Amino acid sequence: MPTTITVKDPKASSNAGIDLSDSANYTTVVSGTGVDFAWEGTACVLLKNSESSASRNFTFTVPVPSGSGLTAIGSTPTNKVYSVSAGKIHYVENADAFRDPATGKVTLDVSGANCSVMAIAQ
């Protein structure tokens, strides 16, 4: 089961802005476990690679909507892979295609260590 993370709201009075360089604002992604977050109201996701020497692959899991008929016609969507270079933060705008229609969440997994994610509200 993935860890569910809270979507940060930069407009909230208790959180007037978000320090993107502060590691405390990110949720660590454990390799093979992943994280998920509510899609509705989420504007973007920041993928952070704290590794000093290697890139990491972040994979958005794209579920096949039940009853869509895609499998019946031999069409299977593939996972979206983002490679984040060592010491970098990658901005990913959210897309409805990544949302699991059953849970309303987006799931994110990673290969490797020293990776984290922050979901930001609109």
Q: Model-level pTM?
A: 0.81
- Give counts: helices (H), strands (E), the chain: 0, 9
| 35-38 and 80-84 beta bridge pairing | unpaired
- The Cα-based distances of 3 to 11, 54, 78, 90, 117 in angstroms read 24, 24, 22, 20, 11
Q: For the chain, first and last CA: distance in Å?
A: 26
Give the model's pLDDT for residue 91. Answer: 92
Give the model's pLDDT for residue 56. Answer: 86
Q: Where are the domains of the chain?
A: 27-64+75-121
- The Cα-based distances of 21 to 46, 48, 49, 80, 88 in angstroms read 11, 10, 12, 25, 10
Give the model's pLDDT for residue 94. Answer: 73
Give the model's pLDDT for residue 59. Answer: 82
42-88: per-residue pLDDT in tens? 788 999 999 888 888 888 777 666 666 666 777 777 788 889 999 99
97-112: per-residue pLDDT in tens? 788 878 888 888 888 8
Indicate the CATH number of 27-64+75-121 among 1.10.357, 2.60.290, 1.10.287, 2.60.120.
Answer: 2.60.290
Which pair of tokens denotes residue 108? 């994110």
